[in-house]
């Protein structure tokens, strides 16, 4: 449900950089984003191949959504042209990396793949995906510079660039290319708190076929393509959220995490708005949260609003099997089933027209940009509660 949204500052060891607009992380027009997969430990080759196939199929929902959206416009505006001149995903069948270094590697590098010297002559990927179970840690020098203690850094939940990843996560757009070689830039493994497989399949495969896994993959590939969280649009200034610690408690209990979700994660992924203005950056016009219908709005966003009546005590994995009305039970369902209404959450697993228009605006020429702005304006006049209760 995440990306690296630097709503305050993007940090580097050399200087602080203000991030104001989508130009900072969007791919150059005409990019074909090369996607590679890291083989997780203890996963059989056949299961790895099936997991890659499932993720590829889910990620390609973005391309199918674009093609379906543009179908009525015939040859004048078409998906083939957009993929060639805008942005597309490239899943080469032989693009896989060796298993991570594992125990014995330097702290924060246990999940980095080894490499041969000749591989550095041409980097064979743009985005490297980890399928290891979560949580895990990685070394991320851009988030807290090496040698800077957590007390000296802007956020006090990382030290020396060590980042703990509890939930599915992806670097935003071209930020993926600033991650060290062999270090994953997207993490689509199964959160261990969601439990093991009960259908005889490998736990990772069962997870990827569930509502949770399907949502996570499609959502994170939106970030890979360069889409930030839609509810963090610069002009949505009237949205009021609960205190950060309350949001952290709800997330921690809902997912059964062993340690609390960090304050930094909450601020970057949920409560902060992007700086800047839609007038000089590629943001669709979003007037209210109620009119927002997007897979790029985090699942359960309504829980975190100030007016929400959801309590952290409502969400405990210990009660899941008895109550049957919490997040974990809804997310474990196969994607072919609808989530139980008692869960207070129904999750999207397909990109919406709003999401397609966001990509057209970012990567299309003036014709596609005009189409995106016109379509969004027409829909924004219809009030909806889609951001709070998205539907499959």
Whole-number Å distance between alpha carbons of 209 and 51: 9
* Count of Cβ atoms closer than 10 Å to residue 81 Cβ: 16
| Phi, psi torsion values for 274, nearest 5 degrees | -70, 145
pLDDT on residue 312: 59
pLDDT tier at 161, thresholds 50, 70, 90: low
pLDDT on residue 288: 81
pLDDT on residue 152: 35
pLDDT on residue 130: 93
Domain ranges of the chain: 21-380
350 vs 153, higher pLDDT: 350
381, two tokens: 């006049």
pLDDT digit string, tens, across residues 304-353: 888 877 665 555 444 443 333 334 444 445 555 444 443 445 578 999 99
Compute CA 182 distance to the chain's CA centroid, rounded to the nearest angstrom: 20
Comparing CA positions, the residue from 10, 264, 14 lying closest to residue 158 is 264
Helix (H, G, I), strand (E, B) or coil at 158: coil
8 vs 31, higher pLDDT: 31
DSSP codes, 251-280: HHHHTT-SSPPPHHHHIIIIIPPPSS-TTT
Whole-number Å distance between alpha carbons of 108 and 52: 25
Mean pLDDT for all residues in the chain: 75
- This prediction has a pTM of 0.81
Q: How many CA atoms lie within 13 A of 14 on its CB side?
A: 1
pLDDT digit string, tens, across residues 219-261: 999 999 999 999 998 888 778 899 999 888 888 877 777 778 8
The residue ranges of DSSP E strands in 162-309, in sequence order, are 162-165, 169-170, 186-187
CA dihedral over 296, 267, 195, 96, signed as positive or negative: positive
104 vs 177, higher pLDDT: 177
pLDDT tier at 4, thresholds 50, 70, 90: very low
220, two tokens: 């994170």
129-133, 166-170, 228-232, 321-325: least confidently modelled range: 321-325
Indicate whether 282 pLDDT > 90: no
């Amino acid at each position: 449900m995440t990306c690296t949204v630097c709503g305050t500052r993007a940090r580097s060891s050399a200087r602080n950089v203000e991030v104001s607009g989508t130009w900072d992380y969007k791919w150059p027009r005409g990019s074909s984003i090369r996607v590679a997969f890291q083989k997780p430990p203890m996963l059989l080759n056949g299961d790895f191949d099936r997991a890659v196939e499932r993720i590829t199929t889910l990620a390609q929902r973005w391309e199918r959504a674009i093609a379906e959206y543009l179908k009525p416009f015939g040859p004048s505006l078409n998906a083939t042209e957009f993929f060639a001149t805008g942005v597309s995903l490239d899943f080469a069948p032989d693009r896989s990396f060796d298993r991570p270094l594992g125990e014995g590697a330097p702290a924060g590098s246990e999940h980095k793949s080894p490499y041969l010297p000749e591989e550095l002559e041409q980097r064979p990927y743009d985005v490297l995906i980890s399928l290891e179970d979560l949580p895990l840690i990685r070394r991320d020098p851009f988030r807290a510079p090496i040698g800077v203690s957590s007390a000296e850094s802007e956020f006090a939940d990382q030290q020396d660039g060590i980042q703990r990843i509890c939930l599915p996560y992806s670097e935003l757009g071209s930020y993926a290319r600033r991650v060290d070689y062999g270090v994953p830039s997207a993490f689509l493994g199964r959160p261990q708190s969601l439990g093991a497989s009960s259908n005889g399949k490998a736990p990772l495969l069962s997870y990827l076929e569930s509502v949770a896994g399907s949502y996570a993959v499609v959502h994170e590939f939106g970030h890979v393509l360069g889409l930030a969280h839609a509810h963090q649009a610069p002009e949505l200034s009237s949205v009021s959220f609960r205190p950060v610690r309350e949001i952290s408690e709800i997330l921690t209990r809902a997912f059964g995490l062993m340690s609390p979700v960090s304050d930094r994660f909450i601020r970057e992924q949920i409560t902060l708005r992007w700086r800047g203005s839609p007038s000089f950056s590629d943001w669709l016009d979003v007037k209210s949260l109620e009119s927002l219908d997007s897979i790029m709005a985090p699942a359960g966003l309504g829980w975190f609003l100030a007016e929400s009546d959801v309590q952290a005590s409502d969400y405990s994995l210990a009660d899941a099997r008895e109550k049957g009305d919490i997040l974990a039970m809804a997310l474990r369902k196969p994607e072919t089933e609808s989530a139980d209404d008692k869960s207070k959450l129904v999750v999207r697993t397909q990109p919406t027209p709003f999401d397609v228009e966001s990509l057209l605006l970012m990567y299309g020429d003036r014709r596609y940009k005009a189409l995106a702005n016109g379509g969004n304006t027409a829909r924004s006049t219809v009030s909806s509660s889609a951001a709070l209760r998205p539907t499959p």
